[in-house]
Structure 1
Amino acid sequence: MKLRQSSAWIQLGLIALSTAALTPLAFAQDDTSRIGAVNVEKVFNESNLAKQSQTRLQNEFAKRQNELRDAAQKIKAAAEKLDRDAAVMSEADRVRRQRELADQDRELQRKQREYTEDLNQRNFEERGKVAEKANIALKQVAEQRKLDVIVQDPAYANPKVDVTDDVIKALNNLK
């Protein structure tokens, strides 16, 4: 059994070695091919359109965020008051206030989930709008630089093939 396993590993190693040896040949077919690289998160964080989008979201959700924070503080204050007063309260009053607090907490958690879902949905929509415009800017940069391929978020890219700043500039100039 060990012999079969080691044989399989040897075959797998030979396949990987031959694939690694042939891969440069596939890219060497055309010496004029030009490649660029772009950091998508940098485009989403630093472009004017993305910043405007983020500001819109913050303004849109600020009121709900403040309401949730205020509600959480009220529940916390009520819970602290209950802890202080529990010793002098009747059993029925203590149980009633504990239930009220639990109900308020459940309602707050429901509202927080709704807020998070709504925020995520709107964020997704806004990022989609930015991505649409960024793709237009990306194509402009590719045409200007006569690039054949632009790779998004490579593990490593030589700075001379990084077109991220050019894409941000093109995106900022789009109408």
Structure 2
Amino acid sequence: MKQFAKHMIATALLSTAVIATPAVAEQKIGIVDVQAIFQAMPQAAEISESINAEFKDQIEEVTQLQRDVQFFSERLQRDAATMSEAEKNELQQKIITAREQYTAKGQPLQQTIQRRSNEERNKLLGLIKQSIDNVAAQGNYDLILNANAASFAKPDLDVSAQVLDSVSKLN
């Protein structure tokens, strides 16, 4: 009886595989490398430049605070032997104050820049998604996979160039 059940299950699996194979063969599949498209887009480089320009003054202020901390620390190490105790305390207080200011201004600025970068990145990824949809519709693709999701794909399945061309026309 067990043998008969095993044969029935094997027959069912085999017939399912035979029936499913032609359905898969009829699908048109494409592969797209979203990361490569993102990096090839001229807008991606512009994002970094525009964000740096937007936060230029704040970045310079935080950078100056960082330089101050480094300068005061190096001076304390270098000249500690010849400094009076009052001078050492004053310099240590300057270091502490500069570090506190750096922390208070640097961390929120970094978070703000990260948030803005993500917003701009998401806009570009939306354009890429729209372009993938356009290429899929024009080429009658049933499925387009991200290249990172596929272990192997024939080069003729790659539609990244078409998507890049399409996304450049959107702007």
- Shorter-chain TM-score category? 0.7 to 0.9
Match of 1:12 in 2: none
Query: CA 1:72–1:36 in structure 2 vs 1: closer, same or farther (change >3 Å)?
Result: same
User: How many pairs does the alignment contain?
Assistant: 155
SS at match of 1:29: helix
Per-residue CA deviation, residues 15-43 of structure 1 (Å, 9 max, x unaligned), is: xxxx9xx7796464243201111111112
Unpaired segments ≥5 residues, structure 2: 1-12
Letter in 1 for 2:128: A
Q: Does the alignment pair 1:129 with 2:123?
A: yes
**Which of 156, 165, 169 lines up with 2:161 in the alignment?**
165
List per-residue Cα deviations over 1:65-122 (Å, max 9, x = no partner): 3332222222212222222332233323312321220221132133222222111101
Kept in 1: contact 2:58–2:109 (CA 8 A)? yes
Q: Which residue of 1 aligns with 2:48?
A: 54
Q: Which of 85, 101, 105 is residue 99 of structure 2 equivalent to?
A: 105
**Residue 87 of structure 2 aligns with which residue?**
93
The counterpart of 1:73, out of the listed 67, 77, 85, is 67
> What's the secondary structure of 2:55's corresponding residue?
helix
Q: Which moved more, 1:110-119 or 1:162-171?
A: 110-119
Aligned-residue CA RMSD in angstroms? 2.4
Q: Could you say which residue in structure 1 is the equivalent of 2:23?
A: 29
Q: C-alpha distance in 2, partners of 1:26/1:172?
A: 38
How far apart, in 2, do the equivalents of 1:36 and 1:137 lie?
13
Q: Distance in 1 between matches of 2:79 and 2:165?
A: 62
Runs of 5+ in structure 1 lacking a partner? 1-18
Deviation at 1:52, TM superposition (A): 2.9
Residues 136-175 of structure 1 show CA distances to partners (whole Å, capped at 9, x for unaligned) of 1111111121111111123332211111111111000014
Secondary structure at the residue paired with 1:140?
helix
Distance 1:92 1:23 in 2: 85
Distance 1:95 1:28, change over 3 A: farther
Seq. identity, %: 25
- CA distance in structure 2 between the partners assigned to 1:34 and 1:159 by the alignment: 14
* C-alpha distance in structure 2 between counterparts of 1:158 and 1:174, whole Å: 28
Q: What is the CA–CA distance in structure 2 between the aligned matches of 1:23 and 1:52, rounded to whole Å? A: 50
Change (3 A) 1:24 1:105: farther
Taking the aligned partners of 1:60 and 1:46, their CA distance within structure 2 comes to 23
Q: TM-score, normalised by structure 1?
A: 0.76
Are residues 161 and 96 of structure 1, via their aligned partners in 2, closer, same or farther at CA, if it must alter by over 3 Å?
same
Q: 2 CA distance for matches of 1:143 and 1:66?
A: 47
Mapped to 2, the partners of 1:24 and 1:117 lie a distance apart of: 54
